Amino acid sequence: LGSFDNGGAGVFWSHKGDPSPWEMHPDCDELLHVIEGEVEVEVLPVDGGASSVALLTAGSFLVVPKGCWHRQTIKSTSKEFYLTPGRTLHSNEIDPRSGA
């Protein structure tokens, strides 16, 4: 939809699929809002602990904390609003915390 501080705000639409690459926002939290469908979000804590997984359904919100690597798996055709006011880093590593 447009820029927001050093990041952006937008709507993402996708069909069911494999997990996305990992992403992380070193400067800010990220707000996710599922408008339609189901999205599974996996978050890796900064302290190196085990990941947590949240299943978001239509109407759900999730705030991904600053500095936490996370990825999404679209469980059904979905529309999602995101607000990321800072930079985004990406990784295809199995555990991106080891190289971050």
Q: Which two tokens stand for residue 41?
A: 């979000």
Give the pLDDT of residue 14.
93
Give the pLDDT of residue 100.
47
Give the pLDDT of residue 3.
78
Mean pLDDT computed over 44-67 = 96
Of the pLDDT bands very low, low, confident and very high (cuts 50, 70, 90), residue 98 is confident
Is residue 25 predicted with pLDDT exceeding 60? yes
pLDDT tens, 8-17? 899 999 999 9
Q: Cα–chain-centroid distance for residue 27?
A: 14
DSSP three-state, residue 56: strand
Under 8 Å CB-to-CB from 87, ≥6 apart: which residues? 6, 7, 25, 26, 27
Mean pLDDT computed over 51-60 = 98
- Residue 27, Ramachandran bin (φ over 0: left; ψ between -120 and 50: alpha; else beta): alpha
Is residue 2 predicted with pLDDT exceeding 90? no
Mean pLDDT computed over 21-32 = 97
Rounded Cα distance between 80 and 58, Å, is 9
The structure's pTM equals 0.91
Token match 């555990």: residue? 95
Are 76 and 40 a contacting pair, CB within 8 Å? Answer: no
